[in-house]
Structure 1
Amino acid sequence: MSPVDHLDKGASLGAGAVCLAGPGRTMTYAEVQDHSYAVAGALARSGVAPGESVAILSHNDVTAFATMFGIARRGAVWCPVNPRGTAAETRQLLDLFDCRCLVFHPAYAEQVAEMAPHLPKVTVFVCLDDSVEGYPSLERWTADGPDADAARPLPEGLAMLVGTGGTTGEPKGVMLTAGNLEAMTALTLIGYPFEGRPTYLALTPLTHAAGVLCFPVLALGGRILVMSTPDVGEFLRLIGSERVTHTFLPPTVIYALLDHERAATTDYSSLQCLWYGAAPMSPTRLEEAIGLMGPVLGQLFGQTEAPMMIATMHPRDHVDPDGRVLAHRLSAAGRPGPLVTVAVMGEDGRTVAAGERGEIVVRGSLVMAGYYKDPAATAEASRFGWHHTGDIGFLDEEGFLHVVDRAKDMIITGGFNVYSAEVEQALMEHPAIADCAVVGLPDDRWGERVTAVLQLRPGAALEGAGVIAFGKERLGSVKAPKQVEIWPDLPRSRVGKVLKSEVRRRLV
């Protein structure tokens, strides 16, 4: 099933039901279908053939997301562009992906004007409205209306090209097929609670995890509420007023939610599942969230190359039958799903026993088709017949997968391996710490010294010596930080992940 197949499935359950809703616009399933045929026809008239790449540059927007279904209807390849990227980053990706068409929100007109002279492969530029001179508006571009003859299947099943920086910082294009998306949808529907027609609230970028999580919701005829700006207070208001059943938040946004003045007074009774993932979450704050909202948090573990569902952790996995939080489970990433095979592998390519640490590897229909025009990177990622995630972890005796660190973030100090994520989770138990990043810095004595950079909660005060003592109590002297820095904010990527490379750069 391609993205448009998920839309059509939802429409078959009620074409008049609301599909997408956001500031200024609401569209039913029938209206999104008509829009998709109109976009497919416009692409055909513009010379964009099935299998060619079409990018959308926009923040969260109902019309922009609806246009994605037209790309799929044409049999073209959707290239979601990070709206927080620089013009240089976006231009590099569009060129790498051989994009023929760029649809953009007027808010990015200056960026498009800067990029356009350097994008010879892009032959069609379309603005979502008519406010930008020199480019056709989406309405004018699609004025000839729906065109059923322009609809085509996806050649070779390729549905999406998604950019990822990888370990070198050079962008790579992850090729995701309709089969990958179908496997992700199936694993989502199998692994988490869904009752009735869901209402899904999208606060984080639809170009990333929040977007592909729409597909299982659409397959059930659900409603997608699109937030154009990431406002935690408005998010909490909508949870109650719109009776939201499903949503996704990375840990950093959950921390902000827990500290918000409205958190304690919000009605969470409609929530069936609040997915969390994309970065490790503090078990202490996870337990706090469960106490606030009830047992509705569900973890997902995946990556762009194997989207979202390598392992799933149902809300009920967080608690015992009496509703008591299972503290020992809160550091797990979930159980491998029924449609994927997950193992932990040593450097020699042999899988290791339960409890032993190594690189997490995966097989199955969830795994990408490869990196676009990069056979060397594809071969490197698929050594020994498995997809290599680059994450270090282990499987416990209950079959739960634990992610202890990214391989590149492991610290070797005094001859011992220290996993930065383990230190971060221990430090996050301190009530004054809102977030932290642990890195290894060069040290003449230890090889690398464990260094913690902290972001404190509002109004909190803390000294480095106290943090070191706190760490030693929980981790021992080897793993405890030997250097502590306190910053007002941690550097983050455009999707909210802490940038450890930037932390190291500032410290060295």
Structure 2
Amino acid sequence: MSPVDHLDKGASLGPDEVCLTGAGRSMTYAAVQAHADAVAAALARFGVEPGDAVAILSHNDVRAFATMFGIARRGAVWCPVDPRGTARETRRLLGLFDCRALVFHPAYAAQVAEMAPHLPEVTTYVCLDDSVEGHVSLERWTAAGPHPDAARPSPDGLAMLVGTGGTTGAPKGVMLTSGNLEAMTALTLMGYPFEGRPTYLALTPLTHAAGVLCFPVLALGGRIVVMETPDVGEFLRLIGTERVTHTFLPPTVIYGMLDHERAPTTDYSSLQCFWYGAAPMSPARLAEAIERVGPVMGQLFGQTEAPMMIASMHPHDHVDEDGRALNRRLSAAGRPGPLVTVAVMDAEGRTVPTGERGEIVVRGSLVMAGYYKDPEATAEASRFGWHHTGDIGFLDDEGFLHVVDRAKDMIITGGFNVYSAEVEQALMEHPAVADCAVVALPDPKWGERVTAVLQLRPGARLEAAEAIGFAKERIGPVKAPKQVEIWPDLPRSKVGKVLRNEVRQRLA
């Protein structure tokens, strides 16, 4: 199933039901289908062939997301562009992907004007409205009606080209097929609760995890509530007023949600599953979320190359029979899904026994087709016949996968291996700590010095010596930080992940 097949499945369950809504605009399933057909016809008319790349540059917007289905209807490849990137970053990705067309929100007109002279391959520019002089509006572009060559081919080919974050080097283009998305949808529907017609609330960018999580919701004929502005207070209000059943936030945003003044009075009773992922979550704050929101928290672990569902943790895996947080599991990433095979591997390609640490590897229909025009990177990521995630972890006796750290973030201090995430989780148990980052700095005695940078909760106070002592009590003197800094905020990526590289650079 391609993205548009998920739409069509939902439409078969109720064409007049609301499919997309947000910012005063709503579209039924039938309306989104009609829009997809018109976009596919326009792409054909403007020379975009099946398999060509078409990008969308927009923040969360009902019209922009509806246009994605037209790209799929044409059999073209959807390239979701992070709207928070610079013109230089976006131009680099569009060139890397050989994009033929770009649909953009008028808010990014200046960025488009800056990029366009350097993108000769992009022959078609379409603005979501008619406010940008020199560019055709989406309404006019799709007004010509059907086209005899608009039918899409077999859905077995590429569905998405997604840029990696670039935090570990030059961005790469991840090739995701319709089969990858179908596997992700199937694993989502098998791994989490869905009762009735779901309502999904999207606060984070639809260009990332929030977007692909729409597909299983659409397959059930659900409703997508699109937030154009990422406002946590409004998010909490909408959970109650829209009777939201499913939503997703990365941990750092959940921390802000828990600290928000509206959190204690929000009505969470409609929630069936509150997904979290994209970065490790503090067990202490996860327990707080379970107590505050209810036993509805559901973890997902994946990456762009194997989207979302390498492992999943159902809400009932988080709690005991009385609905209280089951502390021994809160540091886990979940159980590997039934459609993927997950192992832990050493550097020589040998799988290691239960409980031993190594690199997490995966294979199955969830795994990408490769990196676009980069056979060397593809071969490196698929050594020994497995996809290598770059994450260090282990499997426990219950079959739960634990992610210890990124391989590149391991600290060797005094001859001992220390994992940044383990130290961060210990520090996050302190009630004054809102978030933290642990990195290695050069040290003449230890080789590398475990160094922590803390961001405190509003109004909280904490001295460095107290934080070091707190960590020593939980993880011992070897793993505890030797140096602690307190900053008003931590540097983050466009999807909210703390950037350890930038923390290192600032400290240096």
Length-normalised TM-score, structure 1: 0.99
User: Whole-Å Cα distance in 2 between the matches of residues 123 and 325 of structure 1?
Assistant: 54
Structure 1 residue 156: deviation in Å? 4.7
Q: Is the 8 A contact 1:57 1:104 kept in 2?
A: yes
4+ aligned runs moved over 2 Å, structure 1: 145-149, 153-156, 165-168
Report percent identity of matched pairs: 85
Structure 1 residue 462: deviation in Å? 1.1
Partner amino acid, structure 2, of 1:418:
V
Structure 2: which 5+ runs fail to align? Answer: none
Pair 92,107 (structure 1): closer, same or farther in 2 beyond 3 Å: same
Question: What is the match of residue 212 of structure 1?
Answer: 212
Pair 288,121 (structure 1): closer, same or farther in 2 beyond 3 Å: same
Q: Is the 8 A contact 1:455 1:490 kept in 2?
A: yes
Question: What is the match of residue 241 of structure 1?
Answer: 241
User: Whole-Å Cα distance in 1 between the matches of residues 441 and 419 of structure 2?
Assistant: 14
Question: What is the match of residue 121 of structure 1?
Answer: 121
Pair 500,47 (structure 1): closer, same or farther in 2 beyond 3 Å: same
Structure 1 residue 155: deviation in Å? 6.6
Question: What is the match of residue 49 of structure 2?
Answer: 49
Give matches, 1:361-400, under 5 Å: 361-400=361-400
User: Whole-Å Cα distance in 2 between the matches of residues 91 and 323 of structure 1?
Assistant: 49
- Provide the aligned length of Structure 1 versus Structure 2: 508
SS at match of 1:247: strand
SS at match of 2:229: coil
Partner amino acid, structure 2, of 1:221:
G
Partner amino acid, structure 2, of 1:43:
L
Length-normalised TM-score, structure 2: 0.99
Cα RMSD (Å): 0.9
User: Whole-Å Cα distance in 2 between the matches of residues 219 and 138 of structure 1?
Assistant: 26
Pair 97,292 (structure 1): closer, same or farther in 2 beyond 3 Å: same
User: Whole-Å Cα distance in 2 between the matches of residues 98 and 188 of structure 1?
Assistant: 31
Question: What is the match of residue 278 of structure 1?
Answer: 278
User: Whole-Å Cα distance in 2 between the matches of residues 348 and 480 of structure 1?
Assistant: 30
Deviation digits for residues 189-208 of structure 1, max 9, x if unmatched? Answer: 00000000000000000000
2:86 aligned with 1:86: yes
Partner amino acid, structure 1, of 2:129:
D
Pair 415,275 (structure 1): closer, same or farther in 2 beyond 3 Å: same
Question: What is the match of residue 330 of structure 1?
Answer: 330
Deviation digits for residues 188-242 of structure 1, max 9, x if unmatched? Answer: 0000000000000000000000000000000000000000010010001000001
Q: Is the 8 A contact 1:37 1:148 kept in 2?
A: no
Give matches, 1:59-458, under 5 Å: 59-147=59-147, 149-153=149-153, 156-166=156-166, 168-458=168-458
Pair 23,167 (structure 1): closer, same or farther in 2 beyond 3 Å: closer
Structure 1 residue 321: deviation in Å? 1.9
User: Whole-Å Cα distance in 1 between the matches of residues 269 and 155 of structure 2?
Assistant: 44
Q: Is the 8 A contact 2:156 2:178 kept in 1?
A: no
Partner amino acid, structure 1, of 2:355:
G
Pair 207,154 (structure 1): closer, same or farther in 2 beyond 3 Å: farther
User: Whole-Å Cα distance in 2 between the matches of residues 161 and 257 of structure 1?
Assistant: 31
Structure 1 residue 165: deviation in Å? 3.6
Structure 1 residue 51: deviation in Å? 0.3
Moved more, 320-329 or 106-115: 320-329
Structure 1: which 5+ runs fail to align? Answer: none
Structure 1 residue 24: deviation in Å? 2.7
Q: Is the 8 A contact 1:59 1:228 kept in 2?
A: yes
Structure 1 residue 267: deviation in Å? 0.6
Question: What is the match of residue 13 of structure 2?
Answer: 13
Partner amino acid, structure 2, of 1:39:
V
Partner amino acid, structure 1, of 2:105:
H
SS at match of 2:136: coil
Structure 1 residue 481: deviation in Å? 0.4
Deviation digits for residues 416-464 of structure 1, max 9, x if unmatched? Answer: 0000000000000000000000000011111100000000000011111
Structure 1 residue 154: deviation in Å? 5.0
